[in-house]
Structure 1
Amino acid sequence: MTTTDTTTTDTVRSLMREARIPASDAEIAAYAAAYPGVRAGVEALYAPVEVRYLDPALRFRADAVGPETPWAGPPA
């Protein structure tokens, strides 16, 4: 096991402990193997400066009652 593997395993173990999620050593090892890819994916979401602070989800507006009222996004 390399230093990076140990660090990643320790990170995953700490995250699981902090979240109070019980996990066996086999589960920790599987999560640690996937962690670098997941971490890179999350970091890629925030990499473009233009989208860093945008809301990534559409919001349903219950007050949008007709076709003239936009149901996704801020009120017109």
Structure 2
Amino acid sequence: MPPLNTVVPGSIILNILSCELATRLAGQIARAATIFQIDEVMVFDNKSKSKDDSTDMVENNLDEYGTGAAFLYFHG
């Protein structure tokens, strides 16, 4: 059987209001990948370069990672 891959946008984390919930979401993605026997989860950075004030709260919490994609990569 060929390997199964999936792609997740990094911006999914930027919609979450706290680091604890973002970490939980990363865990749920990993759990779903395990249940469905996904061999590889690829995370792409689709954050636009324009400034969006609605994501300031989350970006302040994720400053050390820079983007949602980096957050998923380091927590995966």
Return the TM-score normalized by structure 1: 0.30
Return the TM-score normalized by structure 2: 0.30
Max Rg structure: 1
Q: Highest relative contact order (Cα 8 Å, sep 6+), 1 or 2?
A: 2
